Amino acid sequence: MTRSYVSLLALSFVGAFLLCILNSCGISDPVTPPPVAAGSLPRVLLDSGKQLQYHRSIQSGVDTFTIQTGSRLLRKAGSPDIDLVGAMHAAEPAYYKKLQSDLNKADLVLFEGVVDESQQQAEEAMSDAQRQKAYQKSAYSRLAASHGLVAQHTSINYESSRFRRCDMSVQQMDALLKSEMASGGSGAKASTAAGEEFASVRKVLSGQSWAANAVIGLISMSPALTARTRLMLVASGSESNDDDSSLHPRLEQLIREDRNAFVMKEVTTIMRKEKGHQRIAIFYGAAHLADLQKRFAALGYRPVESIRWYDAVTAHPYAAGITEDEVKEIFTR
């Protein structure tokens, strides 16, 4: 859900500016929640209906809103079971404990992680303390800490021998865009724009953007802004589709579809060459999984269960002084 964090930072910048101008960076008085009809909770907010999604926002109490991610087991006779395990990159500690429990059931876990090959060797040579310090500089870690959350990469046991990174590298993604640039035409223009934006996104997520760091710093100093951006994060699960106008369409395709195609190629190779696997978990951002399920369906895989939903982040906006109108605006923007 990279795009949700990029959007959140952009909207947070505007929110931080307005809140500071209005001198409302302190703690707001609680607001009385609007009445809720008996028997109407829990309910899915802005349900997309027939559109398959592995993330959603729910309201389970008069002042309890939660973003959930989904996981689902797929099966094909004579082949390893495939467990699609959706994730958010920053969430509450209990959420990652539940995901870890699911991942422990697989004899192989293929996880996402776009790495820079030019820096990978240096990172592998780091001590645990040095690696932890480097992680803390990332936008995910900073954003998590400012909201009382934890980052995924510090909450899941990636050192297990069953875990294997299965993702494109920065260089592979750049090479794909450059090959399209070389071909000329309208596609080359789109790839050029996507490449420039990709570099900017990497800078933000790595913690090297002063603007993004300034936004996160403002969030951490303002209880009012922290409450609103936390609710914005919860509301990101209610998006009716996965297209994000904050990213160039070609970059959105690169981040999701091209990387998913890479995963499928790796999985089919593993199933052909490594015959002993009984259950393979695909541990990726929740926004990837609807497309991955369709790709596995083309190979003959079918769901054997409903989606398993896990609470990732919960917000209590009315206790934080957010009005009913603000809540509606955040969930419908």
Q: What is the pLDDT of residue 21?
A: 40
Q: How confident is the model at residue 38 (pLDDT cuts 50, 70, 90)?
A: confident
Q: SS3 helix, strand, coil % of the chain, rounded to 5?
A: 50, 15, 35
Q: What is the mean pLDDT of residues 289-300?
A: 98
Q: Where are the beta strands (DSSP E) in the chain?
A: 43-44, 55-61, 64-75, 81-87, 90-91, 108-111, 150-151, 163-165, 279-285, 302-303, 308-315
Predicted confidence (pLDDT) at residue 81 exceeds the cutoff of 80? yes
> What is the reported pLDDT for 20?
45
Measured distance CA(1)–CA(79) in Å, rounded:
29
CA distances to 29, 116, 133, 329 from 60, rounded to whole Å, are 22, 41, 37, 19
Residue 190: strand, helix, or coil: helix
For residue 110, the SS3 value is strand
DSSP single-letter state for residue 250: H
At 63, the amino acid letter reads D
Q: Locate the domains of the chain by residue range.
A: 2-332
The answer to whether residue 242 scores a pLDDT higher than 90 is: no
Q: Beta-carbon neighbour count of residue 41 at 10 Å? A: 13
Q: What is the mean pLDDT of the chain?
A: 86
237, 225, 199: which is closest to 4 by C-alpha? 237
Q: Is pLDDT at 325 greater than 70 in this prediction? A: yes
Would you say residue 14 has pLDDT above 90?
no
pLDDT at 79: 97
Predicted confidence at residue 145, as pLDDT, reads: 87
pLDDT tens readout for residues 111-126: 999 999 887 766 666 6
How many CB atoms are located within 10 Å of the residue 129 CB?
8
